[in-house]
C-alpha cells in the first residue's frame, strides 16, 4: 500500500459520497413532482378540507421542500426511514426482514454463478474460436439481449411445465425441510444465475483474450508453450484484476434482475416490497428502498473500481 | 440465400453477410408492422373474440387467445407500435441530446466540460430500473412520461460515449485548421466532428435501442409501463402470466417478439455491411 493507491481509493470514496448525495436529491426531487396533494390523495376524494389540512400539518408537508429534504437525509443516516403512508408502520421494520431475504437470495446466486461463470469464461477464452467457444458466446449474447422476465418464464417452462421438477410460481411460506428450502430458492436462483453469469462470462472471456493479445503472451506462444499453458500460467494471473472487476460489475446486474425475479416468483424480498410500494404510491417506502438499492449498487461499482486500482502493477511501487 | 447477398453486393457496393441480412429483415419487418398495425390486425384489438381463454394456436387464431379470449396475434401487432415507437422516440431523443452535448463538451472543453461530465456521470450511476420505478411512483405512467424517463436514463451514457470519441477527433489537425479559420462551435461539431464519429455513434444508437426496449418491457412487465387497455409486448407477457403453468401461447409469443427484435439489432450491429472497396481481398 502506498500513498498513490490510498489517494486514489480516497478519491473513489469521495466520488461515491457525492454521487450518493446527488442520488438522494434526485430521488427526493422526483417524489416531489407528484401532481396534486399527497394528503388529499391519501385521504381520498371524500375527505373534508379540515382533515386534509390536519394531515398536512401532521406530516410536516407545510414546511418548504429544502428543510424537509435535509430532515429526511439526516434521518436516513441515523437509520430512521420514517413512516409508510399506507400501513403507518415504521419503514425500518418493514424493510428489515425483507432485506435479509433479498441478501440471502443474492448470496446464494453469487455462490453459484461466480465459479460457474468464471470457469466457462476462461474455458471459452482457452478454446477461442472453437465450437465450444461459439456456443457459449452465442448463448450469452442471447441471454443478454432478452429481458430478464423472459429468462424467468423460459426457466419456468422448462423446469416446471415440461420437466415438472419444480413448482411453477408459488412461494412456500413455511419451510420445514431442506428439500423444501431448495425448491423455494431453485427457480429464482436459476433465473438470476443465468442473467448474472451471462454478463460475467462475456467480461471474463474478453479480459483473458485481451491479455492474450499482449506481446509477452505472444512471446510465450513463440517459445513453444501450449495454448493451455499460455492461458493458465501466463495470461490468467494478469487477467485476475480485470476479471475481479468484471465480477463486481456483473453482480451489480443482480439489482435489475432481482426486481423482476422477486416479482415474478412472488419472493418476499425488498425489491418486491418496492414494486408494491410503487403500485400503491407509498412514496417514503419507495424512497427508502431506492436509497438502499443505490447504496448497494454504488458499493459494488466502487468495489470494482478499487479492485482495478489495486490490480494495476504500475501503482505498486 | 448467398445469391441474395451477392446480388445486394453487386447492386449497392455493400457487402452484407447472411446473419446481417436476416437480422435486417426482422428489424424491417417490425418497423413496417409498427407503421401499418391497425390495417393488418385480423381482429379488433380490445375485443373478446374467442369463447375460450388461453386458447391454443388454431386456423382462426394463429397465435391463440389471451386470458380474456382476445386474439394474441392482433395484440402483438398493435403492441409493436408501443414497443418500437416509444423505444425509437426515446433513443432518438437520448442520442440527439447526448451526442450534441458530448461534442459540445469536447469542443468547448474547460469548466463546461468538467461540470457537465461530473454531473452526468453521477446521474449515470443511478441504476436504470430503479430510476424508472421512482419516476413512475412519483408522476404515474403515460407514454410521454415513459419516453422522457427513458431519455433521461440513457442520455448520460450516450454523452459519455460521444464525448470520448469527439475528444480524439478534436485533437486532429483539420479541426485545428478549421478553428484557425475562425469557424464557430456549431460549424465545428456539425461539419468536422460529427461526420468522423457517425459510425460508432450509430452502432451505439442501436445498442441503446436494445437497452431501452429491454427496460421498457421490464417496466411494463412490472405493470408500471404502458397501461391497459393499451399494451406493449412487456405488458402482454404480464397480462397473460397466469397462463404460464400450462404453457399458453399468449405468454410465450410476446416474449419471442421482444427477443426477435433485440437479438436482431444486436446481430445487425455485429454484422454491419462493409463497403466492398474497403476490403482487402
**pTM, full prediction:** 0.84
Domains of chain A: 92-316 (1.10.3720.10)
Interchain pair B255, A256: CB under 8 A = no
* DSSP string across A187-214: HHHHHHHHHHHHHHHHHHHHHHHHHHTS
pLDDT of amino acid B274:
64
Nearest CB neighbour to A150, from listed B129, B130, B255: B255
Phi-psi group of B16: left, alpha or beta (phi > 0 → left; psi -120 to 50 → alpha; rest → beta)? beta
Nearest-by-CA chain B residue for A170: B245
A305: helix, strand or coil = helix
A267-316 pLDDT, tens digit each: 888 888 888 888 887 878 888 888 888 888 888 888 888 887 787 767 66
A86-95, A177-186, A290-299, B132-141: the lowest-pLDDT one = A177-186
pLDDT of amino acid B279:
46
Residues of chain B with pLDDT under 50: 277-281
How far is CA A289 from each of CA A99, A239, A267, B18, rounded to the nearest angstrom? 9, 36, 16, 47
- Cβ count within 10 A of residue B226: 25
A252-271 pLDDT, tens digit each: 788 778 888 888 888 888 88
B130-165 pLDDT, tens digit each: 888 888 877 778 889 899 999 999 999 999 999 989
pLDDT over 50 at A75, yes or no:
yes
How many whole angstroms separate alpha carbon A292 and alpha carbon B246?
Answer: 37
* DSSP string across B188-240: IIIIIIHHHHHHHHHHHHHHHHHHHHHHHHHHHHTT-SSPTTS--HHHHHHHT
Interchain pair A294, B234: CB under 8 A = no
Nearest-by-CA chain A residue for B212: A147
B60: helix, strand or coil = coil
**Angle between helix B110-124 and helix B72-108 axes, rounded to 10 deg:** 150
Provide the pLDDT confidence category of residue A119 given band limits of 50, 70 and 90.
very high
Beta strands, E only, chain B: 14-15, 274-275
CB pairs A-B closer than 8 Å: 139
B126: helix, strand or coil = coil
CB A151 within 8 A of CB A195: yes
**Portion of chain A with pLDDT greater than 90, in percent:** 8
pLDDT of amino acid A171:
54
Nearest CB neighbour to A283, from listed B137, B221, B265: B137
A84: helix, strand or coil = coil
User: In B, what residues contact A, Cβ < 8 A?
Assistant: 119, 121-123, 125-131, 133-140, 210, 214, 217-218, 221-224, 234, 237, 241, 244-247, 251-252, 255, 258-259, 262-263, 265-266
How many whole angstroms separate alpha carbon A169 and alpha carbon A153?
Answer: 10
pLDDT over 90 at A159, yes or no:
no
CB A271 within 8 A of CB A263: yes
CB B78 within 8 A of CB B208: no
- Cβ count within 10 A of residue A278: 25
The burial class, CB within 10 Å (0-12 / 13-18 / 19+), for A288 is buried
Nearest to B210 by CA among B52, B103, B115, B94: B94
CB B249 within 8 A of CB B256: no
Look up the ipTM and state it: 0.79
Domains of chain B: 44-258 (1.10.3720.10)
Candidates A257, A259, A297: best to mutate against B (most CBs of B within 10 A) is A259
Amino acid at each position: 500500500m502506498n500513498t498513490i493507491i490510498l489517494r486514489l481509493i480516497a478519491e473513489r470514496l469521495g466520488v461515491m459520497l457525492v454521487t450518493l448525495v446527488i442520488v438522494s436529491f434526485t430521488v427526493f426531487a422526483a417524489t416531489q413532482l407528484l401532481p396534486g396533494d399527497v394528503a388529499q390523495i391519501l385521504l381520498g376524494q371524500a375527505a373534508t378540507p379540515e382533515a386534509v389540512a390536519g394531515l398536512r400539518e401532521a406530516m410536516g408537508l407545510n414546511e418548504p421542500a429544502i428543510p424537509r429534504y435535509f430532515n429526511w437525509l439526516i434521518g436516513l443516516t441515523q437509520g430512521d426511514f420514517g413512516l409508510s403512508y399506507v400501513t403507518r408502520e415504521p419503514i425500518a421494520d418493514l424493510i428489515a426482514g425483507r432485506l435479509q431475504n433479498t441478501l440471502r437470495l443474492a448470496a446464494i446466486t453469487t455462490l453459484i454463478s461466480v465459479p460457474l461463470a468464471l470457469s466457462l469464461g476462461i474455458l471459452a477464452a482457452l478454446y477461442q474460436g472453437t465450437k465450444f467457444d461459439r456456443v457459449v458466446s452465442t448463448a450469452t449474447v442471447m441471454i443478454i439481449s432478452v429481458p430478464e422476465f423472459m429468462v424467468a418464464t423460459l426457466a419456468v417452462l422448462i423446469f416446471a411445465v415440461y420437466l415438472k421438477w419444480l413448482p411453477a410460481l408459488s412461494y412456500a411460506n413455511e419451510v420445514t425441510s431442506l428439500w423444501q428450502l431448495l425448491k423455494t430458492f431453485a427457480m429464482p436462483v436459476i433465473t438470476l444465475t443465468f442473467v448474472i453469469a451471462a454478463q460475467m462470462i462475456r467480461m471474463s472471456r474478453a479480459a483473458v483474450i485481451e491479455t492474450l493479445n499482449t506481446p509477452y503472451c505472444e512471446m510465450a506462444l513463440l517459445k513453444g508453450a501450449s495454448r493451455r499453458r499460455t492461458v493458465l500460467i501466463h495470461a490468467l494471473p494478469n487477467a485476475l484484476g480485470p476479471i475481479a472487476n468484471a465480477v463486481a460489475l456483473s453482480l451489480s446486474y443482480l439489482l435489475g434482475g432481482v426486481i423482476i425475479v422477486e416479482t415474478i416468483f412472488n419472493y418476499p424480498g425488498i425489491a418486491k416490497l418496492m414494486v408494491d410500494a410503487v403500485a400503491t404510491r407509498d412514496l417514503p417506502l419507495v424512497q427508502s428502498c431506492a436509497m438502499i438499492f443505490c447504496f448497494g449498487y454504488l458499493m459494488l461499482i466502487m468495489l470494482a473500481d478499487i479492485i482495478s486500482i489495486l490490480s494495476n502493477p504500475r501503482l505498486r511501487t | 440465400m448467398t445469391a441474395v447477398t451477392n446480388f445486394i453486393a453487386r447492386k449497392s457496393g455493400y457487402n452484407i453477410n447472411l446473419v446481417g441480412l436476416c437480422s435486417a429483415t426482422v428489424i424491417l419487418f417490425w418497423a413496417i408492422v409498427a407503421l401499418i398495425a391497425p390495417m393488418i390486425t385480423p381482429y379488433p384489438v380490445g375485443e373478446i373474440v374467442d369463447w375460450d381463454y388461453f386458447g391454443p394456436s388454431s386456423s382462426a387464431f394463429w397465435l391463440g387467445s389471451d386470458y380474456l379470449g382476445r386474439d394474441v396475434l392482433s395484440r402483438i401487432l398493435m403492441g409493436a407500435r408501443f414497443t418500437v415507437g416509444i423505444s425509437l422516440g426515446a433513443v432518438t431523443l437520448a442520442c440527439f441530446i447526448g451526442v450534441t452535448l458530448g461534442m459540445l463538451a469536447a469542443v468547448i472543453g474547460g469548466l463546461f466540460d468538467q461540470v457537465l461530465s461530473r454531473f452526468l456521470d453521477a446521474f449515470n450511476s443511478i441504476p436504470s430500473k430503479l430510476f424508472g420505478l421512482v419516476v413512475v411512483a412519483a408522476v404515474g405512467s403515460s407514454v410521454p412520461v415513459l419516453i422522457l424517463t427513458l431519455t433521461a436514463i440513457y442520455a448520460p451514457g450516450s454523452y459519455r460515449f460521444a464525448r470520448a470519441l469527439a475528444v480524439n477527433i478534436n485533437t486532429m489537425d483539420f479541426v485545428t485548421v478549421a478553428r484557425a479559420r475562425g469557424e464557430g462551435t456549431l460549424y465545428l461539431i456539425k461539419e468536422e466532428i460529427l461526420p468522423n464519429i457517425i459510425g460508432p455513434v450509430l452502432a451505439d444508437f442501436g445498442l441503446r435501442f436494445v437497452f431501452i426496449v429491454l427496460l421498457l418491457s421490464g417496466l411494463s412487465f412490472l405493470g408500471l409501463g404502458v397501461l391497459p387497455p393499451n399494451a406493449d409486448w412487456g405488458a402482454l407477457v404480464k397480462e397473460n402470466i397466469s397462463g404460464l403453468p400450462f404453457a399458453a401461447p399468449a405468454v410465450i409469443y410476446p416474449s419471442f417478439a421482444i427477443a426477435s427484435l433485440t437479438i436482431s439489432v444486436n446481430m445487425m450491429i455485429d454484422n454491419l455491411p462493409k463497403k466492398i472497396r474497403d476490403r482487402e481481398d
